[in-house]
Amino acid sequence: MKFFSKKSSKKPTRLFFATDLHGSERTYRKFINAGKFYEANVIVMGGDIQGKLLIPIIKESNGHHRATLQGRVEHMASQDELTALIGRLDTLGFYNKIMDEEEFRAISADPKAVDKLFHEKARQKLSDWVDLAEERLNGTGIKCFVTGGNDDEWDVLSAIKREGAQSLIACENEMVMVDDDHSMISIGISTPTPWNTPREVSEGELGKIIEAMAAKVPDMDKAIFNFHDPPKDSTLDTCPMLDWTKDPPTQIVQGGQVVLYGAGSQSVRAAIEKYKPMLGLHGHIHESQSVAKIGRTTCINPGSEYGEGILRGCLVNFVDGEIQGYQMTSG
């Protein structure tokens, strides 16, 4: 872990940050346990917490089951095989519903019914995650802050806003105190992507949202910007350039090499340069794990390998508006 020489009589706050879990049950359970494991006072889960797919599991007349996963039909002849499949789906962040042939045909013919079922499953998963956080973190003193991302739908995110919750705090579009001295503002929406995700706005609109949130910060020297979109051209946002005219979008290749570029937000970068917060927590670009300095601000994207059940994260120690050290983690 990298430390600077400035000392303080106060005990540093240790924050653990992970992002882009996309509904992965295994990865989320690791996240909830990370506070105790890493002896963190605060754990923050960045945006894109909703799963991406609903997989129907069809119960056949002979008692066996089948499901189509990533283009391949899988057959389960025993309860153990069915349990193993559901475990794989949980790790991938995919929801599932066991149904008979008749129900499968009926729901497949009704897109509105499919959408309704997906949203129900997504809300239930997040509600279960709140339950788990409340159970595991009760009495530990660990604060857990959670925000959505561009892939998360507003009605699904409502499931994490639970009145009376003691440990899991839904913090999007809020200013919260992570300790006695340091504040955090959180924004989960992003600028446009090739995927037309549920929560995207223009650069100009995102800039306005950031300005409104920044006005709530009591002391920028001790502030954390928890913005899902990373700052543009910061090394936190490097990914393949895509041809948006194709469906699905495809990687652009020049001279036999995939073209890489900074896909982050100029509005986010401009706000960091203007306000100079202590820390920036970002995600969105899974493959671009990095730490970068923009002026005095330490900006972090821990990356994501949620589909493998791997929790990528970053530990950050800070006190009196100064970063004392940081360390990327994986496990």
Cis peptide before 248 (omega within 30 of 0): yes
Q: Cα(108)–Cα(91) distance, rounded to whole angstroms?
A: 25
Q: Cα(89)–Cα(23) distance, rounded to whole angstroms?
A: 10
φ, ψ for residue 196, nearest 5 deg: 55, 55
User: DSSP string covering 201-255, please?
Assistant: --HHHHHHHHHHHHTT-S-GGGEEEEESSPBTTSSSSEEE-EETTSSS-EE-EET
CATH second-level architecture of 54-113?
Answer: 2-Layer Sandwich (3.30)
Name which of 122, 127, 140 is nearest 34 in CA terms.
140
Sheet holding 143-146, edge to edge: 168-170, 143-146, 42-45, 13-18, 312-319, 322-330
The angle subtended at Cα 73 by Cα 67 and Cα 75, nearest 5°, is 65
Which H helix or E strand runs over 319? strand 312-319
List, in order, residues 6 or more apart from 56 with CB less than 8 Å away.
Answer: 67, 68, 96, 97, 99, 104, 107, 108
CATH tag for 13-50+121-330 (out of 3.30.420.40, 3.30.365.10, 3.40.50.720, 3.60.21.10) = 3.60.21.10
**pLDDT tens, residue by residue, 55-113:** 999 999 999 999 999 999 999 999 999 999 999 999 999 999 999 999 999 999 999 99
**pLDDT tens, residue by residue, 284-325:** 999 999 999 999 999 999 999 999 999 999 999 999 999 999
Q: What is the pTM of this model?
A: 0.95
Q: 316 forms bridges with which residues in the sheet?
A: 15, 326
**pLDDT tens, residue by residue, 167-201:** 999 999 999 999 999 999 999 999 999 999 999 99
**pLDDT tens, residue by residue, 109-138:** 999 999 999 999 999 999 999 999 999 999
Q: Cα(288)–Cα(245) distance, rounded to whole angstroms?
A: 24
Q: Where are the domains of the chain?
A: 13-50+121-330, 54-113
